[in-house]
Amino acid sequence: MKKKSFLLRSITGRQGRRLKEYLTAYIFIAPASILVFLFGIFPVFFALYVSLHRWRIVRGDMIGLKNYGTAVGNLAYVIAFFLGIGALALVCFIIQHILKLKKKHADQPWLAIFPGFLFMVTVLAFFNWFYHALPEVLDIAFKVRGLERGQIVFADFLREALRAEAVLPAWRIFLLALLASVAVSLLIRRLWRNRRNFNYQIFFALGFLALSVGIGLLAFTLQEVAGAYEVALAEGSDPGIWPQVISISAGVLLLGAGYLLWRRAETQATNGGFWLHLLAALVLLVGGWLLIGEIPMIIANGDKQVWDGLKVTLFFSLGTVPVQLTLSIFLSVLLFQKLIGSNIFRIIYFIPYVTPAIASAAVFQQMFSNRHTAPVNMFLRALGLPPQKWLFEPRGVITLIAEYFGKTVPAWMAGPSLAMSVIILHSVWTFVGYNTVIYLAGLGNIPKELNDAAEVDGASGWQVFRHITFPLLSPTTYFLSLIGIIGTFKAFNTIWIFRSNMALGTTDTFSLVIFIEFFEKLRYGYASAMAFVLFGIILTLTLINNRIQGSRVFYG
């Protein structure tokens, strides 16, 4: 009786209208959400799965962290260890947050622990099912080989795959956990009527999730490290993972402490206190830096391609981002004046950015050709300089300049290869217009009164720029530098066009190394592991940048 009235209520009246509204919304977002999920979120987990396997076109054995170990050496274990510790630290933060919330509202949220725990179990059960079901579902593609397309009854195969030995129990556990958690969640909401009830449940769930991930990751890492030690001891060598973990942890701690002291030094009242803090901070920072300084050596012990790829990417970032930012801030300040035709200049500067990169790369390839009659070589000859091989030149720029003056430089000072420099030039040429347009928008946001006031006070053009315009543009500068650096890590198309065997891989950035490993060497598992290393680098850069932006950027 009661149920019927509930049903009736839910299809008529206000409740019914609201349900219809929800349904409309879900139908509206369904196609886009499914596609974003299938090709944007699911692949991350899939890639993680692939990266833990030996996988050459078809799936091989599960080999744990070995792919990562091959790529970055022992750093793989160190980072996995740190991620585990980080998850445990997250647990502390969540507990702290819950306690704060509890104190603020004088709640007694402990009942919410139960649904929180069950939610965690549900999520883990889902991933357990995912882990077992994925290979079975993937294998359907091999089962249908040789069948006519019309004959394939996909539903049958899928049912068969999902009923496989390990998969069905995992699915049942998941369903059970889901039902239990929903039931307990609703029950607790009845028992303890509080607006924040569900928030507490979610926080507890997140806390338990972080706890289980942390413990799981630590256990997994310990097992992997033990395995690595076993292999190494059998070969009679010492992998030395633990000393590295300890020294790098100490280094990170020292850096953190040094940074805190540095920040506190700024707020010291007395001069003596300031210098003391600064000195202590410097000592800590240098110590931490020395301990962390081992990281490059560890990576260098991994795959040489990764190390070289990272170096080339670093050159690419350092070569493009500062140059294009300087040029574009300069151009945008010039364009911002009231000039006849400034709009035309803006349109022209933006053309390289919209031009298909493949076409413009093909043009640069010919302009910087190694022929003596190619335009750039002709230009060099007009200046009385020797013609260059440009994109075919693996030697470093600094080496070449030194050679021209009859000197030699050590290998570590060689700089980016000449081939890479052409790519850097092309990148600067492409992106100056884009950065200029964004700087122009940033300039438009600066209140005109500020400039006028400064000019009334007798500030010169340069002083206005240095003390008003440039600081007020800092959000734009940070945004563009982040986009630029991440862009150099992601860049693919143009470098692929510019790439030639004669350059001996001196133009292969990390992205290229990953793609070649995947596309030409067909080592899917290893390439996925490297892609995750790239992902980690990009995430770290973004986080560091956000931190700096939070404390250093002036928002007008």
> What part of residues 147-186 is at the interface with other proteins (CB under 8 A)?
149, 152, 154, 157
* Measured distance CA(533)–CA(80) in Å, rounded: 12
How many helices (H) and strands (E) the chain has is answered by 25, 2
Q: Is 22 in the site for other proteins (CB under 8 A)?
A: yes
Are 525 and 52 contacting, i.e. CB atoms less than 8 angstroms apart? yes
Query: For other proteins, which is the closer residue by CB, 352 or 394?
Result: 352
Query: For other proteins, which is the closer residue by CB, 285 or 438?
Result: 438
CB of 237 to other proteins, least distance (A): 32
> Interface with other proteins by CB under 8 A: which range of 17-25, 173-181, 221-229, 259-267?
17-25
CB of 127 to other proteins, least distance (A): 16
Query: For other proteins, which is the closer residue by CB, 15 or 223?
Result: 15
524 alpha carbon, distance to own chain's centre: 20
- Residue of the chain from 92, 176, 260, 347 that contacts other proteins (CB under 8 A): 347
Q: Is 78 in the site for other proteins (CB under 8 A)?
A: no
* Measured distance CA(295)–CA(301) in Å, rounded: 10
Beta carbons within 10 angstroms of residue 260's beta carbon:
13
Q: Is 130 in the site for other proteins (CB under 8 A)?
A: no
CB of 359 to other proteins, least distance (A): 4
Q: Is 339 in the site for other proteins (CB under 8 A)?
A: yes
What sign for the dihedral angle of Cα 272, 277, 282, 283? Answer: positive
C-alpha distances (whole Å) from 250 to each of 291, 343, 345, 541 are: 7, 55, 54, 21
Q: Is 32 in the site for other proteins (CB under 8 A)?
A: yes
- Residue of the chain from 36, 175, 385, 453 that contacts other proteins (CB under 8 A): 36
- Residue of the chain from 180, 345, 387, 392 that contacts other proteins (CB under 8 A): 345
- Ramachandran category for residue 297: left, alpha or beta (phi over 0 → left; psi -120 to 50 → alpha): alpha
> Interface with other proteins by CB under 8 A: which range of 20-28, 163-171, 189-197, 395-403?
20-28
> Interface with other proteins by CB under 8 A: which range of 176-184, 301-309, 392-400, 485-493?
485-493
> Interface with other proteins by CB under 8 A: which range of 139-147, 279-287, 295-303, 400-408?
139-147
Q: Is 28 in the site for other proteins (CB under 8 A)?
A: yes
- Residue of the chain from 489, 506, 508, 516 that contacts other proteins (CB under 8 A): 489
**143-146: Cβ within 8 A, 24+ apart:** none
Q: Which residues contact 253 (CB under 8 A, 6 or more apart)?
A: 288
Q: Supply the angle between the helices 294-301 and 271-292 in degrees, to the nearest 10.
A: 10
- Residue of the chain from 144, 222, 250, 414 that contacts other proteins (CB under 8 A): 144
Phi and psi at 193, nearest 5°, equal -80, 110
> Interface with other proteins by CB under 8 A: which range of 98-106, 186-194, 297-305, 327-335?
327-335
What part of residues 490-529 is at the interface with other proteins (CB under 8 A)?
490, 492-493, 496-497, 511, 514-515, 518-519, 524, 527-528
Which tokens is 240 given?
């030395």
Q: Is 288 in the site for other proteins (CB under 8 A)?
A: no
What's the chain's Rg over C-alpha atoms? 30
Are 489 and 538 contacting, i.e. CB atoms less than 8 angstroms apart? yes
> Interface with other proteins by CB under 8 A: which range of 107-115, 248-256, 307-315, 345-353?
345-353
Residues, the chain:
556
Q: Which residues contact 172 (CB under 8 A, 6 or more apart)?
A: none
Query: For other proteins, which is the closer residue by CB, 47 or 75?
Result: 47
What part of residues 394-413 is at the interface with other proteins (CB under 8 A)?
none
DSSP 3-state of 268: coil
- Residue of the chain from 7, 11, 44, 99 that contacts other proteins (CB under 8 A): 44
What part of residues 413-442 is at the interface with other proteins (CB under 8 A)?
429, 432-434, 437-438, 440-442
State the number of binding residues for other proteins (CB under 8 A): 99
CB of 350 to other proteins, least distance (A): 6
* Measured distance CA(69)–CA(63) in Å, rounded: 11
Continuous H helices in 145-166: 154-162
Query: For other proteins, which is the closer residue by CB, 40 or 256?
Result: 40
Q: Is 99 in the site for other proteins (CB under 8 A)?
A: no
Query: For other proteins, which is the closer residue by CB, 208 or 368?
Result: 368
C-alpha dihedral, 200 to 202 to 208 to 211, nearest 10°: -100
Which tokens is 147 given?
């069948």
With tokens 């973990």, the residue in question is: 245
- Residue of the chain from 180, 367, 409, 446 that contacts other proteins (CB under 8 A): 367
CB of 217 to other proteins, least distance (A): 19
Q: Say which amino acid occupies 421.
A: S
* Measured distance CA(206)–CA(211) in Å, rounded: 8
Q: Is 311 in the site for other proteins (CB under 8 A)?
A: no
